[in-house]
Structure 1
Amino acid sequence: MAFTLHLYASFVALGLGGLILSMRKGTKPHRLLGSTWVAAMALSALSSFWLGGGVLPLVAHLGPIHLLSLWVLVALTAAVVAIVKGKVRQHREWMLGAYLGLVAAFAGTLMPGRWVASQLGLW
């Protein structure tokens, strides 16, 4: 169940993030889709803690990839706090950083031996 939640939340966040980055900022659709994106990102990051870390476990089943999940949760929190305080530039930077973290994580799933790569027939 955690894997399915993680997979769907990650793909929703990946697609929505690209859409949000391309649209006009500060509008009602931007805020609505942005809230949905934050929820998807948070679900993706949180659900990852129930999944194995693959290579180089650091603590129990948690690996280096879980540090990215932790960072994403920090970035999302900082971004939401920034926009509530009216700090648009900081909000933009944190959101972009969180999205780039997601893109990096997705790129990592395309590496040899990873489930997504095997399902796509890459390796």
Structure 2
Amino acid sequence: MAAEALTRPQPLAPDLLERVLGWAALALLAAALAAIMRGHASWGAVPPAIWLHLGTVIVALTLTPVILWQRRGTRLHRRLGYVWASAMFVSALDSFWILETNHGHFSVIHLLSAFVAVQTPRLVLTARAHNHAAHRRTVRGLVIGGLLTAGALTFPFHRLLGRWLLG
């Protein structure tokens, strides 16, 4: 067992991109929470699918810096990673029931949902296979495309969080 511990690769430390992605996730989380608080008068009119979506996205945004900035390969990293991946996957699937913005039809942002729904299982599989390079690329793609880009697109264009935050 000692020989196995010696041959095990050392966990990758967060690089500059991962530190920036963590801070970007915190900034988006702060904007989303501020929007939600400002929109309290309208909470009763919000469909359950949107509340589920907001909840899962808040979990993912909260865990993103924690997971990206901590030591890799630990039991905590794996457990938080499963929670993060589950939140991302549920958020992606749930988004297909959110059709208010485009008059009952899918919008361009749903392409990001499809991306997340496909890439999240890949994320788990690459981690379980110890394919660190593919896992890291998939994490970065999901954070940049599925979390930060999709999240930033919820503020303009008269979308719910944008209306709540910007009035």
Common fold, TM-score beyond 0.5? yes
Correspondent of 2:78 among 31, 39, 55 = 31
Counterpart in the other structure of 1:67: 111
4+ residue runs over 2 A deviation: none
Identity %: 39
- Counting only pairs closer than 5 Å after superposition, residues 6-85 of structure 1 correspond to structure 2 as 6-52=53-99, 54-55=101-102, 61-85=105-129
Q: Distance in 1 between matches of 2:49 and 2:156?
A: 21
Q: Which amino acid aligns with 1:114?
A: R
Structure with higher RCO (Cα < 8 A, 6+ apart)? 2
Q: Paired residues, what number? A: 119
| CA RMSD, 1 decimal | 1.6
Q: Which amino acid aligns with 1:94?
A: T
Q: Which runs of 5+ in 2 are unaligned?
A: 1-47
Q: Deviations over 1:31-84 (max 9, x none)?
A: 1100000110011101000011734x8xx6111111100101111111111122
Q: Which amino acid aligns with 2:75?
A: K
- Higher CA-based Rg: 2
Counterpart in the other structure of 1:3: 50
Asked whether the equivalents of residues 53 and 64 of structure 1 are also in contact (C-alpha less than 8 Å), the reply is no
Q: Distance in 2 between matches of 1:84 and 1:112?
A: 39
Structure 1 length-normalised TM:
0.88
Q: Cα offset for 1:89?
A: 0.8
